[in-house]
Chain A
Amino acid sequence: MITSAHFMVLSAVLFFIGAVGVVTRRNLIVIFMSVEIMLNAGNLAFVAIANRLGTIDGQTIVFFVMTVAAAEAAVGLAVIIAMFRNAETIKADELSSLRW
């Protein structure tokens, strides 16, 4: 029998896979995709809790997370394009012009 607890564990695993991607990758677009994995893991936790408690609020909040994620993707990718135009690279450790 699969309960919401199984989905909570899956969401924890996915969240940390995304976190490893954010920390270890240098390509800004891949870092961005890892953030999307983390946001989706959060969404899964929300939906699992909504299912467990029998209240709809968890599913409603997923809408707001999706909206914020879409806005974040649009602005973030625009920032990446602007960076690529200025520095000709999107490798996180080559973009060091603000480093002391």
Chain B
Amino acid sequence: MSPLIFYPVAAAAVLSALAVVTARSPVRSAMALVATLVSLAACFAMLQAHLVAALQIIVYAGAVMVLFLFVIMLLNLQDDPPETGRAGLRFGAGGVAVVLAGGFAKVLWEHSAGDGAVLAESFGTTKVVARSLFSDYLVPFELTSVLLLVAVVGAVVLARRDDAPGQD
């Protein structure tokens, strides 16, 4: 992993995440979130998680973000007004977050310093991940399909109009 690749990608991830949190317009937040997700996909690729990186782009930056944008457009949201008051909350939350992030970063840095394991060339390929997914994690994988079914039914029931035609 070259620092010349890591630092620009990490900076892009942090700056776009800050843009998500600070942008006034929900659409701008969503676009910044796409940039964050793509930067993280690049991080996954750097960590030899090739399949995860591809899925990140397809599932997150593709499907989930379309869902977000769809709801933003559907609700026809206006830009948030500039924040008035609550400056204490914002600066307080920011200060606490900086302190906690610093503490976490220090602990994580100290406990994961040094060289990691030597990885096989095939680490993170579809074959290796699928072997793990369909052997050790077979039962959770099947339960996931139940979860998705429940989520689909729940989303339809919740978003449906009460006076929708065909309802009893």
What is A's interface to B at a CB cutoff of 8 Å? 1-21, 23-27, 29-30, 32-34, 36-37, 40, 43-45, 47-54, 56-57, 59-60, 62-64, 66-75, 77-82, 84-85, 90
Contact = CB atoms under 8 A, between A and B. Distances in A.
A13 B18 CA distance: 10
B1 A2 contact: yes
Nearest to B115: A3
Contacts, number: 236
A11 B112 CA distance: 13
B2 A2 contact: yes
A39 to B, nearest CB: 9
A15 B101 contact: yes
B158 A7 contact: no
A59 B97 contact: no
Contact of B3 (A2, A37, A67): A2
A80 to B, nearest CB: 6
A78 B153 CA distance: 11
Contacts of A84: 75
B33 A5 contact: no
Contacts of B155: 74-75, 77-78
